[in-house]
Structure 1
Amino acid sequence: MLIQDKHAVEQRLLIQSAILMSFVAIGGTMMGVFSGSSAILLDGVVSFIAVIIKVMMIITSRLVSNETSKRFQFGYWQFEPLVLIAEGSFTLLIVSYAFLSGLTDLLGGGRAVHVGPAIIYATIFTIADTCYYFYVHQINKKLQSNLVKFDNISWSIDAMLEAGILISFLVAFGLEHFGYAEWAVYVDPIVLIVLSLQMMPSALKIIIPSVKQIMGVAPLKLHNRIQFIMDSFMEKYKFKDYVTSVQAYGNVKMIEIDILIPKNFPKQTIVELDEIRNEIDLAIGGDPAEKWVTITFTATKKWMAKDYLLDEEDED
């Protein structure tokens, strides 16, 4: 897929997702107020946050497609993890509040809910959210967009919310139907607590990798791969030493390689060294628009990056 086409499809999916999530947000908020369900209201509020984050993702996608500017000379790639941190943090904040709200309602004697409309709402949106999630998931298998991948998590979260609400209100309907209405009032706060606990790991799954990227934690898989490639080139060309530095921002890989060569290295011209650079770059592979590769040659060790020991236990 061409780079321009990839960005166009990515932005189309993000815009489409934002529009559809707006309907979910409006529907969830209105139904939450009408039915008196805190669980459905939570779904509506989380969806509104998701819409705001999706708009931020659209802006980020457009910035990243520009690659560089005078003010951001290394590109806009760092904006991607920043947006994802914002999404995860807002989600975590809301679900933490929802958990406390559900606990308060549970200890306060429960919450009465209009079960019938809530069941209809939850059935429609469970089916719609699930179908849309798998539709985008299939497209992104080929697209391989980090923004679309994490954006689609919001649809899986919403689908789980709706499914949980549907099952729980079917239980509440059964309790009312068989003469246990006094127990039905506890269903909504219990659902709210369970869904809040269920959503917390999803929020952390977004926050933790993004924080690592912002902090500059080297991705171990990429580090090991570049080391393996350079070991083979070291043996082939008899380099004296090399140091690699790697970083990742979303799909973009930052790779710097400093190579120490003997003073009597047989390849001395710029053209000959460029041929080695091209060979290393080809071995690294990947989309040219999603990597920033810098390869330097020196016969003096002081011009190399400082060597290090990467702590593998701190990586995933």
Structure 2
Amino acid sequence: MRTEQDVLRISILATLVVAAFGIVFGLLSGSFSIVFDGVYALADASMTVLALWVSALIVKSAQGTLPGRFARRFTMGFWHLEPIVLGLNGVLLIAVSVYALINAVSSILNGGRDLEFGYAIAYAAVTLVACLAMAALGWRANRVLKSGFVALDVKAWLMSGGITAALLAAFVLGLSVEGTRHGWMVPYVDPAVLALVCIVIIPLPVGTVRQALADILLIAPSDLQAQVDRIAQRTVSTYGFFSYRAYVARVGRARQIELFFIVPPGQPARSIEAWDRIRDEIGDEIGGDVDNRWLTIAFTADAEWAE
């Protein structure tokens, strides 16, 4: 798994298997919490497919290997799709969880439901192992890849693992009290644990949604703004410019930077090559992943062109 696409493909396949496994065993055991686990996995898989497609477009765009039609129609690249997909993923997972919470509360108010603990425990044990294995696999790969999509996928596997661990504990507890004086609790085990799990996982994608919204709205990251300001101020001082204007944004994995330097009127002329050398110096200082960086540097004696 050397690329982001490799990790996401394996994750999609594993997610589909786990989802199908969950829906079948949920129906066999009569557990809505297991069915929810499967539906949650399906929702995550659908978003991972979309993430894989967007990731492939971004990589091909950066490498200049896009088909001509795409290259002509998307001249600014596909970075803007990444925060849209991440935000949509987070919102979808929250919506699914809220819906499941409402159903769990309704079930509790209606007296709970009976379920077959044997099927339920078998499902939870196998699925927990699968979730932890996939999370570990993705985390290990992302130490090198440093991908937002893979990081979100790892978080989703951990969330699924947390759901499954809670289900396993609840099912074991329900089996242990079945037939005892606490047997009245058994019908409430499934909806109660589902409600608890939903309350825990609903806030988890909020951070991802907030960051995605900041990227979509082109909110300037303070660290990137400070770095660009520092470099621009040094350039102004070194070359005797009047001032500068800096515009920065982070869009998914990409950094978009526009720098305008206000040059004093009548300053001795420089050759095109000399201006390009200044641009190269600034670009080298900014650094970072140049394949995912949109850097524009302009020089003008008229401040209105920089506003």
Same fold (TM over 0.5): yes
Instruction: Note the 1:86-235 alignment, pairs <5 A.
Output: 86-176=88-178, 178-235=180-237
Q: Which residue of 1 aligns with 2:66?
A: none
Q: Which residue of 2 aligns with 1:57?
A: 51
Q: Deviations over 1:31-81 (max 9, x none)?
A: 111111111111100111111111111111111122271111100111111
Q: Which residue of 2 aligns with 1:3?
A: none
Q: Secondary structure at the match of 1:248?
A: strand
Give yes or no for contact 1:267–1:273 (8 Å, CA) kept in 2: no
Q: Secondary structure at the match of 1:253?
A: strand
Q: Secondary structure at the match of 1:77?
A: coil
Give yes or no for contact 1:81–1:249 (8 Å, CA) kept in 2: yes
Decide which moves more: 44-53 or 122-131.
122-131
Give yes or no for contact 2:7–2:141 (8 Å, CA) kept in 1: no
1:91 CA displacement: 1.1
Q: Secondary structure at the match of 2:162?
A: helix
Decide which moves more: 169-178 or 286-295.
169-178
Q: Which residue of 2 aligns with 1:24?
A: 18
1:178 CA displacement: 4.2
Give yes or no for contact 1:50–1:87 (8 Å, CA) kept in 2: yes
Q: Which residue of 2 aligns with 1:243?
A: 245
Q: Secondary structure at the match of 2:249?
A: strand
Structure 1 residues not aligned, in runs of 5+: 1-5, 307-316
- CA change 1:297–1:91 in 2 (3 A) is same
1:177 CA displacement: 5.8
- CA change 1:178–1:234 in 2 (3 A) is farther
Distance 1:169 1:237 in 2: 71
Paired AA for residue 49 in structure 2: V
Give yes or no for contact 1:119–1:166 (8 Å, CA) kept in 2: yes
Q: Which residue of 2 aligns with 1:70?
A: 72
1:182 CA displacement: 1.0
Distance 1:39 1:20 in 2: 20
1:190 CA displacement: 1.1
Give yes or no for contact 2:218–2:251 (8 Å, CA) kept in 1: no
Q: Which residue of 2 aligns with 1:313?
A: none
1:289 CA displacement: 0.6
Paired residues in the alignment total 299
Q: Percent identity?
A: 29
**TM-score, normalised via structure 1 length:** 0.90
Q: Secondary structure at the match of 1:296?
A: strand
Give yes or no for contact 1:140–1:149 (8 Å, CA) kept in 2: yes
Paired AA for residue 121 in structure 1: Y
Q: Deviations over 1:209-261 (max 9, x none)?
A: 11221122222221122112222222222321111111112111111111112
Q: Which residue of 2 aligns with 1:46?
A: 40
Q: Secondary structure at the match of 1:185?
A: helix
Give yes or no for contact 2:94–2:205 (8 Å, CA) kept in 1: yes
Q: Deviations over 1:64-117 (max 9, x none)?
A: 122271111100111111111221122111111101000001111112121122
Q: Which residue of 2 aligns with 1:273?
A: 275
1:266 CA displacement: 5.0
Q: Deviations over 1:168-195 (max 9, x none)?
A: 1122122226442211211111111111
**TM-score, normalised via structure 2 length:** 0.93
Q: Secondary structure at the match of 2:97?
A: helix
Distance 2:169 2:240 in 1: 66
Structure 2 residues not aligned, in runs of 5+: 62-69
Paired AA for residue 202 in structure 1: L
Q: Which residue of 2 aligns with 1:310?
A: none
Q: Secondary structure at the match of 1:263?
A: coil
